Amino acid sequence: MAVAAQRLETALPARAPLRLPARRARRIPFAMLSMAVVAAMLLGLVTAQTLVTQNSFRLAELSSRAEELERGFGRLRLRAAELSSPERLQKAAKKAGMVLPERVELVEVPAVRGASRHPATGTLALKGVLGGGG
């Protein structure tokens, strides 16, 4: 068997190391770089899509919460309107024993030195007199 292997070695010419042509050798780094760029772009695309999906779920959740709060706000406004209605206030006053006065009197207070009238409401501004600033 050793003789057969020796004959085979002498019959086959010695092979030179495998060398790629220069043109093909330049293509391999370019192909690897291209694949890396494509992989990075795909990773970025998947990440962006994930973020968009998460944000859309969050938006839907916040929208439903906003609608719920708006309904609650509407109910509270209706309740406030019911509680401040003149009819309800009149019933509550009667229940508390209040009655309408027979006669209404207005009392005028003489002007205080240093007080000024507010131009929009006509009320007295006593801040300067009471030490609350100007």
DSSP the chain: -HHHHHHHHHHSPPPPPP---HHHHHHHHHHHHHHHHHHHHHHHHHHHHHHHHHHHHHHHHHHHHHHHHHHHHHHHHHHHHHHT-HHHHHHHHHHTT----SS----PPPPPTT-EE-TTT--EE-HHHHTS--
Q: Identify the segments of the chain with pLDDT beneath 50.
A: 133-134
pLDDT for 134? 45
pLDDT for 110? 76
How far apart, in whole angstroms, are the C-alpha atoms of residue 111 and residue 61?
A: 59
Give domain limits for the chain.
Answer: 47-96
pLDDT for 45? 97
| Residue 29: alpha-carbon gap to chain centroid | 45
pLDDT for 73? 97
- Global pTM exceeds 0.75: no
